[in-house]
């Protein structure tokens, strides 16, 4: 039975990685790893819009977190994922893990971010400076990254 302290938040509001990192401090921890995904500019992008399935996203992220906690001996794991309209350079997603040893923390973060790209019901729409917009197509590379943990 895993004793990992799991925290999952699906929210419209921005987040600050600092306090999230502080929450991951745990007795006995030897390291805290984290990843923050942000809205990447370029190619005329003006904003990103993220739609989600409100009744399913929380449970999907909690399931991914439990899977990570089953695979690695984690002390704590935090996932924050935003939805709604996000400006350039705005934070989209945070994944952080603390563990006794660094390998578990680093691998758990990589696993979690790879998994949530293909297994949590979020969909991105790109808005461009010329007024056009388009749904983001799933990237084969993302599926390959997720599959390497199977």
Q: Which stretch binds another protein (CB under 8 A): 1-9, 14-22, 25-33, 46-54?
A: 46-54
Residue 93 as a binder of another protein (CB under 8 A): the answer is yes
Q: Which residues does residue 127 pair with via DSSP β-bridges, in sequence order?
A: 47, 133
Q: Is 99 in the site for another protein (CB under 8 A)?
A: no
Of positions 20, 32, 39, 50, contacts another protein by CB under 8 A:
50
Restricting to residues 109-138, which ones interact with another protein according to CB under 8 A? 113, 116-125, 135-138
Total residues contacting another protein (rule CB under 8 A)?
28
Angle at 14 between CA 12 and CA 15, to 5 degrees: 125
Nearer to another protein by C-beta: 25 or 132?
132
Instruction: Answer yes or no whether residue 55 interacts with another protein by CB under 8 A.
Output: yes
| Residue 101 vs 143, nearer CB to another protein | 143
Strands (E), the chain: 5-11, 31-38, 45-52, 74-82, 84-87, 91-99, 122-128, 133-135
Beta pairing, strands 122-128 & 133-135: antiparallel
Which has the closest alpha carbon to 95: 42, 17, 150? Answer: 17
């Amino acid at each position: 039975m895993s004793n990992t302290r799991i925290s999952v938040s699906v929210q419209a509001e921005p987040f600050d990685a600092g306090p999230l990192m502080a929450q991951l401090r745990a007795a006995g921890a030897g390291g805290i790893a984290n990843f923050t995904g942000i809205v990447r500019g370029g190619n005329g992008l003006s904003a990103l819009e993220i739609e989600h399935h409100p009744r399913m996203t929380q449970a999907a992220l909690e399931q991914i977190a439990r899977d990570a906690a089953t695979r690695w001996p984690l002390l704590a794991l935090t996932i924050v994922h935003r939805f709604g309209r996000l400006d350039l350079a705005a934070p989209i997603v945070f994944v952080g893990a603390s563990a006794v040893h660094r390998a578990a923390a680093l691998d758990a973060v990589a696993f979690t971010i790879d998994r949530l790209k293909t297994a949590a019901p979020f969909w991105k729409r790109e808005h461009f400076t010329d007024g056009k917009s388009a749904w983001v197509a799933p990237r084969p590379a993302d599926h390959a990254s997720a599959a390497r943990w199977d």
